[in-house]
Amino acid sequence: MSLVLHVDAGPWRAHQDLVVSGHQGIVPVAKGNGYGFGLGRLAAEATRMGLDLMAVGTAEEVPALRAAVAGQPGFQGDVVVLTPWRPDDPVADQVLHDPQVITTLSRVADVAAVARAHPGARVILEVLTSMSRYGMRPDEFAEAVAAAGPLEIVGWTIHLPMIGEHLGEATDLATAALAAHRAPLWVSHLSAGDLDRFRRTFDVPVRPRIGTELWLGAHGAMRYLASVQDVHEVTAGQQVGYWQRRAGRRHHHLAVVSGGTANGVAMQAPTAAATLRQVVQTLANGAMEAGRLALSPYSAGGHKLLFAEPPHMQASLLWVPSSVHVGDELEVTMRATTATPDQVILD
């Protein structure tokens, strides 16, 4: 009983190789759930491509890249931790002793603290962008460099928003950073054209951080499939499930299928509502749920199926047509960044 991610390995790997060949100095990002593949799987792919560096989200994720997966050795190159170091984090402190780990620092006070406690540690300094997340302002750059003292500054990192034109912003920030200290520039979310112009502007190495495009860009190479475990005939008005909801007049077959909240089924972040279509979809889904008619991510015969009730931990109840039988496999539309399949199979 499992929800399985099937990956067409040939096209998936061909896409990875194409992205890597087109981005000099690429920093592959593998964090969280590993974009649905798992951190170990992505580490194995980075090793296959001969990459010398990977990025993870938190210090806790470093061991997952080092661990062997399916008989393949773990990643042996450098690992940069993207979430900035903060005091009183024992795991973040521990990886500072690893010469192959690069720690992100985003506050002058933290730069000074790490310099005192861990001289010689390798660090990257983060600048504050219009994202308004982590980072230091340009008027803090010189102070941060001075506070770094015995630290090895590997570079400056510029984390930009995902939408909009930000080449000018990146250029201004990079210019200010290099005036304080010359080091490689690490950037994210610049278009290919803007990245090329950015490279030509500066005479230091530029390293693009790339995750989604690298791992999920091979559209059609990935399929999530769930098995049908049981099918029950029901009558109109019959109560079913944990919440004893009544079957409607059109509901005659109730299926128990693999996959639930533990796998990330129907788990998603709030929509950005960046387009009219997204707004309309959000309103439509809300109206359906208010009427206890929640559309599920499972499909049969090319049509989405309705949940009979909210998904359970490892199984879901669906209203299905009579053509669905025990042992069938249903397509599941999953958000890769929240998906945790029971198995990942490279076909």
Query: Do 266 and 3 contact (CB within 8 A), yes or no?
Result: no
Which pLDDT does position 288 carry in this prediction? 41
In terms of pTM, does the model score above 0.85?
Answer: yes
Residue 316 phi/psi, 5-degree rounding, is -135, 150
Which pLDDT does position 33 carry in this prediction? 95
Nearest to 313 by CA among 241, 243, 261: 261
CATH top class, domain 7-216? alpha beta
Rg (C-alpha) for the chain, rounded Å, is 24
The pair of structure tokens assigned to 170 is 């990146």
Is the domain defined by 223-346 classed in CATH 2.40.37.10? yes
Which pLDDT does position 74 carry in this prediction? 86
Which pLDDT does position 287 carry in this prediction? 37
Show the low-confidence residues of the chain (pLDDT under 50). Answer: 280, 282-291
Give the residue range(s) of CATH 3.20.20.10 domains in the chain.
7-216
Give the residue range(s) of CATH 2.40.37.10 domains in the chain.
223-346
